[in-house]
Amino acid sequence: MILMFENFHPGIIFILVGFLAALCAPKERRMILACCPVLALLGMLRIAPGTDLQFKFLEDFTIHYLYVDSLSWIFAVIFCVFGLIGGIYSCHNKSPLEALCSMAYVGSSIGVVLAHDWITFLFFWELEAVTSTFLIWNDPRPTSRGAGIRYLLVHTLSGNLVLFGVIMKLVQGDILVHNLMAGPYDAAFWSILAGVCINVAAVPMHGWLVDGYSSATLTGSVFMSSYTTKVAVYSLLRIFGGAELLIGVGVLMALYGATFAVMENDMIKLLSYHIVSQVGYMVAGAGIGTSMSMNGATSHAVCDILFKSLLFMCCNAITYATGIRKINQLGGMAKRYPLVFICFVVGAFSIAGVPFFNGFVSKMVTIEAAEEAHMGIVALLLELASVGTFLSICFKMMYFIFLAPDKGMAPEQRAIESNMKIAMVMGAVLCTVIGCFPEFSLYQFLPFGPVGYVPYTVMHFSNQLIMGFVAVIPFLMFLPRMEPHTAISLDTDWFYRRPFKACVLGIAYLCFGLCRSLGHAWGVGVRQIMVVTDNPMQFLDAKPFHEKKRYSPDNYRTSIADTIMIILTVLFICIFYFRTSL
Angle made by CA atoms 400, 403, 408, in degrees to the nearest 5: 70
Instruction: Report the predicted TM-score, pTM, of the whole model to 2 decimal places.
Output: 0.86
pLDDT at position 545, please?
A: 44
DSSP 460-524: HHHHHHHHHHHHHHHHHHTHHHHS--------TTHHHHHHHHHHHHHHHHHHHHHHHHHHHHHHH
Amino acid at 523: G
pLDDT at 534: 62
Q: What is the pLDDT of residue 581?
A: 67
**What is the rounded distance in angstroms from the CA atom of residue 222 to the CA atom of residue 420?**
11
The neighbour count for residue 413, using CB atoms within 10 Å, is 10
Which of 267, 219, 251, 236 lies closest to 85 in space, CA to CA? 219
pLDDT of residue 43: 92
Mean pLDDT by 10 residues, the chain (582 residues): 64 95 92 93 91 84 91 96 96 92 96 95 96 95 91 94 95 91 91 96 92 94 95 96 94 93 91 95 95 95 96 96 92 93 95 92 92 92 90 89 88 91 96 94 92 88 83 75 71 75 83 83 77 59 48 56 75 77 62
Phi, psi for 55 (deg, rounded to 5) = -155, 160
pLDDT of 3 reads: 47
